[in-house]
Structure 1
Amino acid sequence: MTYLVGYGPRNEDRSAVELAAQLARSEQQPIRIVSVVPKGWGTPAAAGTDREFESWAAAEGEAAVGQAREELAEHPAVSGTAEWVGGRSVPQTLLDEATRSDAAMLVVGSSEEAEPGRIRLSSKTDRIVHSSGIPVAIAPRGYRTDAPVTRVTVGFRDDDASRSLLTGVAEICRRTSARLRVVTFVVAPRRRPVTARMAHAETQVIGLWTAQAAASQSEAEARLLAMGFTAENLEMRLVEGADWRAAIDALDWQDGDILAVGSSATHPMSRVFLGSSASKILRNAPVPVVIVPGAAE
Structure 2
Amino acid sequence: MKIEHVLAGFIPESRGKEGLALAVRMARQAGARLTVAYVHPPAWTTPGPAKIDAEWRAYVAEEAALTLDQARRLLSEVDDVPIDYLLHGNRGSGRGLVQLVGKTKADVVAIGSAPGGGRGRIRLGSTADQLLHASPVPVALAPKGYGDESSAGIRRLTVAYRRDPASDEAVRQAAGLAAQMGVPLRLITLVVSGGRQARMEREMLERLREKVAADLKAAARGHRRVQVEVEVLEGKDVAAALGGTDCGGAVLICASSETGPLRRVFLGDISSKIIRSAPCPVMMLPRNPPKKPGSGVKQGKP
Match 1:220 to one of 171, 191, 212: 212
Which secondary structure state, in structure 2, belongs to the residue aligned with residue 131 of structure 1? coil
Match 1:251 to one of 237, 245, 248: 245
Q: Distance in 2 between matches of 1:225 and 1:25?
A: 24
State the superposition RMSD in angstroms: 2.4
**Larger Cα-atom Rg:** 1
Gaps of 5+ in 2: 290-302
Compute the TM-score of the two structures, normalised by the length of structure 2.
0.85
Match 1:88 to one of 76, 86, 91: 91
Question: Which amino acid in the other structure matches residue 12 of structure 1?
Answer: S
Q: Distance in 2 between matches of 1:213 and 1:124?
A: 35
The correspondence of residues 33-182 of structure 1 with structure 2, limited to 5 A, is 33-144=36-147, 146-182=151-187
Q: Which is further off, 135-144 or 220-229?
A: 220-229
Q: Distance in 2 between matches of 1:71 and 1:22?
A: 14
Give 2:268's aligned residue.
Answer: 275
Q: Distance in 2 between matches of 1:44 and 1:110?
A: 36
Question: Does residue 234 in structure 1 map to residue 236 in structure 2?
Answer: no
Displacement of 1:94 after TM fit?
1.3
Displacement of 1:221 after TM fit?
4.3
Q: Distance in 1 between matches of 2:217 and 2:45?
A: 60
Gaps of 5+ in 1: 190-202
Identity %: 31
Determine if contact 1:42/1:50 at 8 Å carries over to the other structure.
Answer: no
Which secondary structure state, in structure 2, belongs to the residue aligned with residue 182 of structure 1? strand
Compute the TM-score of the two structures, normalised by the length of structure 1.
0.86
Question: Which amino acid in the other structure matches residue 184 of structure 1?
Answer: T
Q: Which is further off, 214-223 or 53-62?
A: 214-223
Q: How many aligned residue pairs are there?
A: 281
Determine if contact 2:172/2:215 at 8 Å carries over to the other structure.
Answer: no
Displacement of 1:2 after TM fit?
1.4
Which secondary structure state, in structure 2, belongs to the residue aligned with residue 94 of structure 1? helix
Determine if contact 1:263/1:273 at 8 Å carries over to the other structure.
Answer: yes
Which one has a larger percent helix, Structure 1 or Structure 2? Answer: 1
Which secondary structure state, in structure 2, belongs to the residue aligned with residue 178 of structure 1? coil
